[in-house]
Amino acid sequence: MDYNAKIYVAGHRGMVGAALVRRLRRAGFNNLVVRTSAELDLRNQAAVADFFADEQPEYVLLAAARVGGIHANNTFRADFLYDNLMIQSNVVQQSHVHGVRKLLFLGSSCIYPRLAPQPIREEHLLTGPLEPTNEPYAIAKIAGLKLCEAYRSQHGSNFITVMPTNLYGPGDNYNLETSHVLPALLRKFSEAAAQAAPAVTVWGTGTPRREFLHVDDLADACLHLLRHYDGAQPVNVGTGKDITIQELADLVAELTGYPGEVVFDFARPDGTPRKLLDVSRLHGLGWHHRIGLREGLQQVLTSADWLHATQPVAALH
């Protein structure tokens, strides 16, 4: 890749997009094109067409998406399906029309069947039913993956797809109504420690297992794949290691200095029982993660990003 190549990072203000911008700039790529959602609504077909005609990017990193945790996914099902279908369809189509040299589409590990064999290989896609609570989002991401695959098959487009595991790090969402499990736990336990609350309630049974990857590791993997991978098959990106939600809660309690009781609300949904990615394809391409979970969480809890995102501390309910 030429260091002067024009690279469009779609979704640059999200957690993933911001990490991609940081990694690209650190590597010496400075001809980056970005737009906020107010400047460019990626759901608007005509606006996206005009943008591509004006900017003519050579590379596209498609990190723009409507995202959220179990509550958001299960509540705003139509929005998650419609918005993501429109965003990715418009960007992929215009990347084809304007001859983009390479596009990297960021999917999600939720595309895999709810009860897929563990660890989950890329070949397990579409072999069983999805997790109901995030089915609309997963279907949208599957459509995006298949869209890239179809453009490659029909038009020879160099569109690659990346399936990251659960992410955390700078730029995460700590809103308890819409966040994923890890940022929600960080916020809950931090506030409980500050207020000396007697107990913290965690959704579900605590038995599901989850894999967590620092977003800076994901950005590094994406740059590696941009440089070294041109295949049609999706590539899982993760650590290859998982942890139960109860173990995660205990770790977060320790790191936030919370000494009280942890209570699990069995009336709340667990989601998928286990979701561990097989990352052998990625390892075979020469990339391994660098940031361990404890180290990554310690970085988060001492960062200016964390202090800004969680102030002021709200009252616990």
Q: Is 11 annotated as a binding residue?
A: yes
Q: Is 17 annotated as a binding residue?
A: yes
59, 112, 137, 258: the catalytic one is 137
Q: Is 203 annotated as a binding residue?
A: yes
Q: Is 16 annotated as a binding residue?
A: yes
Q: Is 165 annotated as a binding residue?
A: yes
Tokens of 63: 């990190």
Q: Is 109 annotated as a binding residue?
A: yes
Q: Is 6 annotated as a binding residue?
A: no
Tokens of 5: 């190549």
For the four alpha carbons of 42, 48, 54 and 57, in that order, the dihedral sign comes to positive
- With contact defined as beta carbons under 8 Å apart, do 8 and 31 qualify? no
Q: Is 141 annotated as a binding residue?
A: yes
b/e code 283-302 from CB counts within 10 Å (16+ = b)? eeeebebebebeebbebbbe
Query: Which residues make Cβ contacts (< 8 Å) with residue 283, sequence separation at least 6?
Result: 240
Q: Is 14 annotated as a binding residue?
A: yes
- With contact defined as beta carbons under 8 Å apart, do 165 and 211 qualify? yes
Taking CA 306 as the corner, what is the angle to CA 15 and CA 241, rounded to the nearest 5 degrees? 60
Supply the DSSP symbol for 108.
Answer: -
Side-chain-side CA neighbours of residue 301 (13 Å): 21
Q: Is 188 annotated as a binding residue?
A: yes
Q: Is 145 annotated as a binding residue?
A: no
Which residues on neighbouring strands pair with residue 164, listed in sequence order? 237
The DSSP string of 56-78 is: --SEEEE-------HHHHHHSHH
Is 168 designated active site?
no
Query: 131: helix, coil or strand?
Result: coil
Strand-pair category, 235-237 with 159-164: parallel
Taking CA 43 as the corner, what is the angle to CA 41 and CA 49, rounded to the nearest 5 degrees? 80
Tokens of 141: 């991401």
Strand-pair category, 274-275 with 209-210: parallel
Which residues on neighbouring strands pair with residue 201, listed in sequence order? 263
Residue stretches of the annotated binding site for NADP(+):
11-17, 106-109, 141, 164-167, 180
Residue stretches of the annotated binding site for substrate:
188, 203, 210, 270
Residue stretches of the annotated binding site:
11-17, 106-109, 141, 164-167, 180, 188, 203, 210, 270
Catalytic (active-site) positions: 137
